[in-house]
Structure 1
Amino acid sequence: MTATGPDWDCIVIGTGMGGGTLGRALAEAGWRVLFVEKGAAGQRQARNGLSEIFVPEARLARGLWPEPLHATVDGRDSRFYAPLGAGIGGSSVFYAATLERPERHDLDDLLDRPHPTGGWPVGYDEMRPWFDHAARMYHLHGTPDPLSSDAPPPLDPPPPLTATEAALMARFRAGGLNPYYAHTAIRRSDGCLNCLGTRCPRPCKMDGRSAGVEPALATGNAEILTGAEVTRLIAGPDSVQEVELRQGGALRRLRARHVVLAAGALNSPRLLLNSLSDHWPEGLANRSGLVGRNLMFHLNEMFAIWPPRDAPDAGATKALALRDLYTAGHTRMGMVQAMGIRASYGEILFYLNRMLAASRLGHVPGLPHLTRLPAALAARILGHAQIFVGLMEDLPYLHNRVLPDPDRLAITYAMAPELLARRHAFRRAIAQAFRGQRRLFLGLGPELNFGHPSGTLRFGHDPARSVLDSQCRAHGLRNLWVADASFMPTSMGVNPSLTIAANALRVADHLRKDPT
């Protein structure tokens, strides 16, 4: 490094599925990589974060995003803590390790179509090797989807089904469904499968930390700054020149040949919108006016299913998934998967209170206390019912966006009529698919999955209709790249984690080949 040269080959902002995966690939290729992470380093043995913690410093110490999300949904304002991480591994250290490959039509059927229906500039066959690479890197295990006509991703054999799982699997098949063992990122030599959805004290769950940052640091080519908040990117007419960050109350600036944004689909556009300059008065990379727009989530359709009456109680399951309802004709729906949660008193109380909060009775004082008795009765009746979720695809609309607010994380979102119509069709399809089985829907109105934001820096060929090019480099900025869920033109009908990791590996490959 010279006095006038860059400090690093690449600065990676964020350490989740995208940033951790990409940073590891570059470090293993010999690049000097600096990870910048807002949260603390933390310990694997640290207590799992809780949404009831409201002190920002305490949330950061537990790996949780310290700020509440200010959301205006269908004109109704709310303020809550979204399921976002802040620490090495980002949100992925709390995820349920479900890495499902999308369907071929998720990418190919929308190839090169204009907004608002989407448009993937990279098709399924081009992404396929990167899906396989990510599956091996994250030690994916499970069984093939019996409905797929494509060869499955590389899968390690899953552990044997429990008695509860085997009973549910047999019941689903008898009803004409096609379940399979869900694709989960667990290194079985270390794993116990009890850490899904929590911060694991061992490196068995493969996430942005265990599969990304830690192997990158082990190469000796990477370093990490924790407790460092990037405040803005300082850019000239065609490149990012410096990264400004605050660490320990002091501002500092760093330089790199390349900068990768991997702060998540909410915070990456927020940073760009707040990086104003004479060259970029509308916000960095925002000549299209699309930075922060086309925000998408999945819709959750939660329901409980009882195992057969004679099935033993073997605990909660995360093993079952099916794609029988992924589409209905040309209607885009999504997959169904077990959540790893039993319908116990605590979960039922949570869902009852959430339904009440969304109803006309939501503002009645003391009403949540009255749900305890019905929750206890329901838990007694439900026994060891398992909770499943139908994960329904969202589509992009310009009015759904991250707001350019430097002081708070804020979004506005309005549910499109077609989304509500698909949601009703999906709910009916679930009821029909599980007819004859004891089941209970756990929600009334539509529920956004705030843990799956995507789409706010969409990639495409046309700079007027996209923020990034097909390599996920910002239009007009030769050294700024994106490696989180914000690149996605559509949300697809599966969890986004495998697609984020696969695309991060693809972007790292383009970076290594870039001559600048």
Structure 2
Amino acid sequence: MSKDEFDVVVIGSGASGGAVAYTLCKAGYKVAVLEKGRLIRRDEFSKDELAYCRRDIVTPNLFEEYHVIEEKVNGKWEATPTYDSGWSFWNGNIVGGSSNFMSGMLHRLHPDDFRLKSKYGEIEGANVVDWPISYEELEPYYTLAEEIVGISGYYEPHPYEPPRSTPGFTQPPTRENAVVTLLDKSCKALGIRSLVTPRAVLSRDKGHRKACYYSNFCGSYGCSSGAKGSSREALLKPALATGNLTLMTNTHVKYLHTEQKDRVNSAVAIDTVTGKEKKIYARLFVVAAQAHESARLLLNSANKYHPEGLANSSGELGKNLIFSGGGSGQGELHENELKEISFGELMQTGYFVNRSILDWYFVDDWWHGKFKGGSVEFMFEHQNIISRARKNNYEEGRLVWGKALGERVVDRFTKQKSIRFEIFNDWLPNDNCFVSLDPTHKDKYGMPVGKLRIGAHPQDIKVGKYIAKKCEAVLEEMGAKNIYSSISADPAQNLVAGGCRFGNDPKTSVLNKYCQAHDVPNLFVADASFMPTGGSVAYTWTIYANAFRVADHIAKILKKGMPG
């Protein structure tokens, strides 16, 4: 085995791993980023729907690497490998991770998200706790991420908009489709305030990155201009330019090796191309592999010092896994019934809807009661051609075909446009949502795969359905037809957090307030694993901000010469 020595080894190159590497390389430290996937350069990205949405070009083959998912069926927990279900929990295993494929709709958590238990008290069946840090402690890092990553937008004061230390964004909003005129007017008629969505997409050139070129394909696809604020573009490229970053692609970490109880000595990794194994040494290790995989890595790193998993003296490792609650809905705007704007304006491709609603972030309703709510994003339906062409092609249970099918597809693409909403609300942590090691299934490297039990709290569904009704009313006011919504206990697999909860008490948490393992001082976990609750927005901006905060703390430790 070869021997490499670094100040810091970072496992994973996504939003959190990139932020840690950027900060430490800029501070002059030698950092190795270990990424299981390959490097795809900007000019290699395409809008090939088959490649990116229907095949495994950027994720592992499910027959080689997979998860086992436990869901309750008829009152009993049933486990199914994802190679049978096709339900993939991989979210972009390439340099930059899933940040390459996000739509970039980013919001800060609200200050009350950090004190959910204090705000709302105990919730039966949920393991809700306050965070060990406050919004005020994280706010400077939200601002830092906003500048470095490049978040465009327009700030408008709102009761549920978190306070800012700067008056506005450094980049103006991205261009908007004329549908926002109709949406804004409809919201106003219903007494609702629509807000411009902060988006990790450049509206103006920034350094080596070009502004958005409005391809019409953002979510699910890599960006060919560098406008999207992915870890690859915004963080790893500048880190490489310092000369202090070693980027090791096709490097899958099987486990972390310890030779004494309170210190990680090396990462044991395998070259996914050659199959050769090696140890990579460092003074300090940062796990940033995505929440469920980070917990799995630490569980697979069990040894005589840590028999239940590395840094798991509390027994909390893998527990309180969380996703994003909510769901989505959609309606159709038709040519012959459109209000306020022309059909030609509606059909202009590429421009964003760029509208959010925070009015229901906290609900105090005389009929439904007082409870934590959620946020809403409006957008056009995903522009994938194949999936759009396949929709609504059945009549009375039978497939429409021939000339009738052709006419229906043409009408769908030329005479109407679908607008949708996505709801984000808290997925309450509970005892039936966790990741463990499957006792029988192993991946192609011989390591036990992650077994994810997915149990949602009933409150999640209640909140989602409440907000969905409000959103359907907005679409009705806009004149949309064929409106529907879907609120499910099945989570979207692209927003995963928890499993390595941080806190002040080593008996009830895996990490301290700086995301440093209580049991192993030279081990940090920087991805969304640390989150004890998820808030009611997408996690990405918080992941970036917290990773910058963690990296600052690591730099201070290294400056003091510890751990050595």
Aligned residue for 2:497? Answer: 454
2:423 to 387, 390, 394: 390
Aligned residue for 1:261? Answer: 287
Work out whether residues 111 and 120 of structure 1, in 8 Å CA contact, stay in contact via their aligned partners in 2. no
CA distance in structure 2 between the partners assigned to 1:378 and 1:79 by the alignment: 31
Change (3 A) 1:368 1:238: farther
What is the CA distance between 1:140 and its match in structure 2?
A: 1.0
Change (3 A) 1:494 1:65: farther
Change (3 A) 1:284 1:477: same
Change (3 A) 1:15 1:146: same
What is the CA distance between 1:345 and its match in structure 2?
A: 7.3
Change (3 A) 1:15 1:111: farther
Matched, 1:64 2:59: yes
- The number of residues matched between the two structures is 500
Matched, 1:46 2:44: yes
> Which structure 2 residues correspond to residues 272-291 of structure 1 after superposition, within 5 A?
272-291=298-317
CA distance in structure 2 between the partners assigned to 1:159 and 1:54 by the alignment: 24
Aligned residue for 1:466? Answer: 509
SS in 2 for 1:453: coil
Aligned residue for 1:315? Answer: 349
CA distance in structure 1 between the partners assigned to 2:498 and 2:269 by the alignment: 25
Aligned residue for 2:367? Answer: none
Taking structure 1 as the reference length, the TM-score comes to: 0.87
Residues 146-187 of structure 1: per-residue CA shift (max 9 Å, x gap):
423623764121245332233322332333221122111123
> Which structure 2 residues correspond to residues 376-387 of structure 1 after superposition, within 5 A?
376=409, 379=412, 383-387=416-420
CA distance in structure 1 between the partners assigned to 2:326 and 2:283 by the alignment: 41
1:161 to 176, 179, 184: 176
Aligned residue for 1:196? Answer: 218
Aligned residue for 1:30? Answer: 28
1:122 to 124, 133, 142: 133
Aligned residue for 1:139? Answer: 150
The amino acid across from 1:222 in the alignment is L
Structure with max Cα Rg: 2
CA distance in structure 2 between the partners assigned to 1:331 and 1:98 by the alignment: 24
Aligned residue for 1:334? Answer: 374
What is the CA distance between 1:289 and its match in structure 2?
A: 1.5
Change (3 A) 1:208 1:172: same
2:484 to 436, 441, 444: 441
The amino acid across from 2:139 in the alignment is R
CA distance in structure 2 between the partners assigned to 1:333 and 1:14 by the alignment: 32
Determine what percentage of the aligned residue pairs are the same residue: 27
SS in 2 for 1:215: helix
Work out whether residues 473 and 479 of structure 1, in 8 Å CA contact, stay in contact via their aligned partners in 2. yes
Matched, 1:226 2:237: no
Aligned residue for 2:461? Answer: 420
Matched, 1:325 2:363: no
Change (3 A) 1:444 1:461: closer
What is the CA distance between 1:131 and its match in structure 2?
A: 0.8
CA distance in structure 2 between the partners assigned to 1:292 and 1:204 by the alignment: 35
What is the CA distance between 1:409 and its match in structure 2?
A: 3.9
CA distance in structure 2 between the partners assigned to 1:374 and 1:441 by the alignment: 23
CA distance in structure 1 between the partners assigned to 2:149 and 2:163 by the alignment: 20
| Worse-superposed segment, 460-469 or 146-155 | 146-155
CA distance in structure 1 between the partners assigned to 2:392 and 2:103 by the alignment: 23
Work out whether residues 326 and 493 of structure 1, in 8 Å CA contact, stay in contact via their aligned partners in 2. yes
Change (3 A) 1:344 1:172: farther
| Worse-superposed segment, 175-184 or 142-151 | 142-151
Residues 443-480 of structure 1: per-residue CA shift (max 9 Å, x gap):
36444111000011111111121111001001110100
CA distance in structure 1 between the partners assigned to 2:133 and 2:391 by the alignment: 39
What is the CA distance between 1:239 and its match in structure 2?
A: 1.0
| Worse-superposed segment, 493-502 or 438-447 | 438-447
Work out whether residues 343 and 386 of structure 1, in 8 Å CA contact, stay in contact via their aligned partners in 2. no
SS in 2 for 1:481: strand
Work out whether residues 329 and 468 of structure 2, in 8 Å CA contact, stay in contact via their aligned partners in 1. no
Matched, 1:245 2:269: yes
| Worse-superposed segment, 141-150 or 6-15 | 141-150
Residues 120-165 of structure 1: per-residue CA shift (max 9 Å, x gap):
1111111111111111111111112442362376412124533223
Work out whether residues 324 and 424 of structure 2, in 8 Å CA contact, stay in contact via their aligned partners in 1. yes
Question: Where in structure 2 are there 5+ consecutive unaligned residues?
Answer: 365-369, 439-446
Residues 206-233 of structure 1: per-residue CA shift (max 9 Å, x gap):
1111111111111101111000000100
